[in-house]
Amino acid sequence: MVRYGKLPFRALVSQYETHLVWTPMMLAAEFSRSAIARDSDFSTSTTERGTFYLPEAHAASPVAEWDPSPEPSRGIHASPSARSKRMRKVKGRLLIQFAANDPVQLAEAAELAKPYVDGIDLNCGCPQKWAYHEGIGCALLRKPDLVRDLVRTTKQRLGWNFPVSVKIRIDDDPARTHELVTQALAGGADILTVHGRTRHQSSEGHPVNPEGIAFATSCAKGAVPVVANGDVFSLEDGEALREKTGVRGVMSARGLLANPALFAGHSRTPDAAVQEFVRLSTAHGLIFPLFHRHTSYMLESRFRTRRDRIAFNGLTSYAGVLDWLEAEELVGLGGGEAAARGGVVRSL
């Protein structure tokens, strides 16, 4: 997610059964041209792609399929209980998402990113006008040959074993979806994410279309795992979407912003997740406006009145947010929170 899919948030959701995480969309041309763009747009950590355990019931997920080979235990979900026969060891997966319309530019950006990620994702779904005019994002939806060349050139540069995925939207015309999926796979795409809305449908104004996703999935003919996206606000929504569409996995954006623990079955953001987000944000130096927006999303269901929300949204510092969380008994001043406050005080 543009703005929001930064390291601290990815690290948080990864602790709650989110097995694949994507960076925000970045412009491939800028990424390869400017070290400043790379540094400001992308950061990761040595633990982000750690090993964790997945219940056998989820063994058919795209993650499991990508890497069945066991690795030494380390990282986010490693635990002794996970040695039970009903769990299997897999790796957390980080995909970097690029917007591009030039195969060489995409391949160059991908090559720079390769040492730090598990896969490259091509955005064919961004509906914003500026992106369409630049010929990127959803402008690619009706350029299947270009999508094929983007994927193929990138795979040739990175090696055929390095995963390249493509995120698309559905089309009003099923023949267009069919051609797009066919060409993405002909280029060598390893995974497909399908947002079940057309480029003219906003997330707020139109419900997701599971039949459209099911059709796109059928076009892939089981050759690669497909991930369904749209209106997943709870684990039950995810399970229902998976059932209706026949996909291997589901993606959530707005749902995870509101409740980063949704894939672990929580109905709202648990207190522990808020505390962990404070710790991760301060440890990774997340800028205050982003920390503030994230916590506001996570706390949405807890604001008792409109006034409460306005008061929270008016806060202007980490210290102010921590005071608010403390008053709500969401954090105590131990561990990470104390460090956070210490960090704020030191930086003043």
Ligand X SMILES: Cc1cc2nc3c(=O)[nH]c(=O)nc-3n(C[C@H](O)[C@H](O)[C@H](O)COP(=O)(O)O)c2cc1C
Q: Does 2 bind ligand X (CB under 6 A)?
A: yes
Interface stretch with ligand X, choices 45-53, 246-254, 274-282, 302-310 (CB under 6 A): 246-254
Range 37-96, binding ligand X (CB under 6 A) = none
- Given candidates 43, 182, 203, 296, which one binds ligand X under the rule CB under 6 A? 203
Tell me: is residue 195 an annotated ligand-binding position: yes
Tell me: is residue 58 an annotated ligand-binding position: no
Q: Does 123 bind ligand X (CB under 6 A)?
A: yes
Interface stretch with ligand X, choices 103-111, 179-187, 227-235, 291-299 (CB under 6 A): 227-235
Interface stretch with ligand X, choices 212-220, 247-255, 303-311, 331-339 (CB under 6 A): 247-255
CB of 69 to ligand X, least distance (A): 29
Interface stretch with ligand X, choices 150-158, 209-217, 249-257, 302-310 (CB under 6 A): 249-257
Specify whether the CB–CB gap between 251 and 193 falls below 8 A. yes
Q: Which residue has the tokens 């051609």?
A: 179
CB of 231 to ligand X, least distance (A): 5
Length of the chain: 348
- Given candidates 24, 135, 188, 270, which one binds ligand X under the rule CB under 6 A? 24
Q: Does 259 bind ligand X (CB under 6 A)?
A: no
Catalytic residue flag (residue 126): yes
CB of 154 to ligand X, least distance (A): 17
Residue whose CB is less far from ligand X, 194 or 340: 194
Q: CB burial class (10 A; 0-12, 13-18, 19+) of residue 92? A: buried
- Given candidates 209, 217, 229, 282, which one binds ligand X under the rule CB under 6 A? 229
CB of 324 to ligand X, least distance (A): 23
CB of 294 to ligand X, least distance (A): 11
Tell me: is residue 339 an annotated ligand-binding position: no
- Given candidates 37, 253, 264, 283, which one binds ligand X under the rule CB under 6 A? 253
Q: Which residues of 225-241 are buried (b: 16+ CB within 10 A; e: fewer)?
A: bbbbbbbbebbebbeeb
Tell me: is residue 266 an annotated ligand-binding position: no
Question: In the beta sheet, which residues pair with residue 165?
Answer: 121, 191
Helix/strand/coil (H/E/C) assignment for every residue in the chain: CCCCCCHHHHHHHHCCCCCEEEEEEEEHHHHHHCHHHHHHHCCCCCCCCCEEEEEHHHCCCHHHHHCCCCCCCCCCCCCHHHHCCCEEEEECEEEEEEECCCHHHHHHHHHHHHHHCCEEEEEECCCCHHHHHHCCHHHHCCCHHHHHHHHHHHHHHHCCCCCEEEEEECCCCHHHHHHHHHHHHHHCCCEEEEECCCCCCCCCCCCCCHHHHHHHHHHCCCCCCEEEECCCCCHHHHHHHHHHHCCCEEECCHHHHHCCCHHHCCCCCCHHHHHHHHHHHHHCCCCHHHHHHHHHHHHHHHCCCHHHHHHHHCCCCHHHHHHHHHHCCCCCCCHHHHHHHHHHHHHC
Q: Does 125 bind ligand X (CB under 6 A)?
A: yes
Residue whose CB is less far from ligand X, 15 or 209: 209
Binding track over 149-168 against ligand X, x by CB under 6 A: ------------------x-
CB of 203 to ligand X, least distance (A): 5
Residue positions annotated with a catalytic role: 126
Binding-site sequence positions for FMN: 97, 195, 253-254
Task: List residues near ligand X by CB under 6 A.
Answer: 1-2, 4, 24-25, 97, 123, 125, 167, 195, 203, 229-232, 252-255
